[in-house]
Structure formats: C-alpha cells, structure tokens
A = this chain, B = another copy of it.
Amino acid sequence: MLGSNTIGNLNPHVSVDCVVFGFEFGRLNVLLIERNMNYKGKKFNDLKLPGDLVLKDEDLDTAASRVLRELTGLDNIYLKQFAAIGSPKRLKRLVRDMEWLRSIGHPEEIVVTIAYYSLINIDQDKAGNFVLQPNSRWYKVSEVKDLAFDHISILQQALLVLRADLKSKPIAFELLPQKFTLGQLQQLYEVILGVKLDKRNFRKKVANMPYIIPINEKQVDVSHKPAQYFSFHRKIYEKSNTASF
C-alpha cells in the first residue's frame, strides 16, 4: 500500500499482511485488494492481501491495525498474529511481482512478513460502517484461486488457524446473535469449516456441550415449524474445558 508514508520512514525488511475474514450466513469472505499494473505492455489485474511495510518507529500490531484502518475506516478490529513468514524466495515467485515491487520503489527483495487474521461478522449492522477503499472488496474464500506473491499460502494458513480456533475457542458465539437456533450454529460451522455436516450427528455433539443451553423462547413469524432458541454460557464453557485443571 505504502499509502502516505515515504520510504524513509519504513523498515524495508519487515511487513505485515492481514487476512480479514468476513462471515455472513451462507458464505465466508476475505478482504482483498485489486492490484493494477502494466505487465508485458498490457494492463494486468490481480489480487493481494492488505499489507504494508512496517514503519521504523512502529510496533508490529500497530502496523497491522494501521493497514486495516486505512482500508476500512475501522479502528477496533481484533487482529491475531498467527505466523511469521520469511522464506528468502517468497517475493520472487513471479516476474510480475518483482517488477511491481520495483515500480513502487521497493528497495529490497527479502521481506519477512508477519501475518495477522481477523474475523468480522459482516451481516451485522457494523457492516454499514465499512467504507472500503475503491480497489478493495470481499471475495468468497472458496473462489480465491491465486494471489500475488505467496499470499495464497498465507490465506490457506490463516484458514487452518481459523478452523482450529473454531474448534478450540468459543469464537462461534461471538459471530452468532445472543439467541440462536441450532440450524444457525450448524450453518456457521459449515461455512467456516467448508463442509456439509450431518444434522443428527451435529445435534448429538451439541447435546454433549453443557454450555449451549435452550432458552424459553422459539422463533416467531417463520413459515416452517418454529425452532427452539439457544444461548451460550461462557462460565459453563470455561468450567467444562475438560483438559484444564
């Protein structure tokens, strides 16, 4: 991005890259930036992750937050650092990537990048506050086939971390409304894990989760049989974490 910063303030050896997942019911998205360049005399477009070099007086987390703020206008997005990637060849996969680096005045070919991921519910009202930069938008994760540099590998790593976190941390309940149906919970798992789950098996497993509790309320104004609402009890979750002593 380089934005308004002059190269003199930047550490040309370390960057941050951000994988911002946008969850909607029905699909999992990722925020990507269109890169426009001239390549072999023709206009060429491809996609990249949001990222930037780190400023010389800047912490890594601060750099990642800055990238997201410049891109979305949002200041309070939670970003989790999940990997540092420093293969010496990571920027040299494609000739057009190296040409592009030269075209933006990037002085170095070795950049260690610190990768962050974030998960936002873009169904919720908050989505209205997003003012995305004109060259960036949400893409369906399952349809992203290639990206600039090694960014497709960074996206794949982020997806593995997100799926592991879904299984080991209560992030599902941060994306769901306070009262939810088991159908919604199953759909959330399906969207993030990228698989279809068997309804009977899923409900059997949920029955073994003492922290998912039915509440005395059902759906109203639905054309099908109204479903029971459930809620997540964090205190019971924390107590039931079996391996903790």
Contact = CB atoms under 8 A, between A and B. Distances in A.
Interface of A: 11, 13-14, 54, 56-60, 81, 83-88, 110, 112, 114, 167-168, 189, 193, 197, 201-202, 205, 208-209, 240-245
Contact of A167 (B209, B240, B243): B243
A14 B112 contact: yes
Contacts of A201: 245
A167 B244 contact: yes
A245 B86 contact: no
Contact of A242 (B57, B88, B202, B242): B242
Contact of A209 (B59, B60, B243): B243
Say how many copies of this protein the assembly contains: 2
A244 B163 CA distance: 10
A67 to B, nearest CB: 14
A60 B205 contact: no
A13 B208 CA distance: 50
Contacts of A57: 88
Contact of A84 (B81, B88, B205, B240): B81
Contacts of A13: 11, 13-14, 112
B83 A242 contact: no
Contact of A60 (B59, B84, B167, B245): B84
Given A209-B243, A244-B167, A60 B11 contact: no
Nearest to A12: B13
A88 B110 CA distance: 20
B84 A242 contact: no
A208 B210 CA distance: 14
A205 B112 contact: no
A245 B202 contact: yes
Nearest to A205: B245
Contact of A86 (B54, B197, B205, B241): B54
B114 A86 contact: yes
Contacts of A81: 83-84
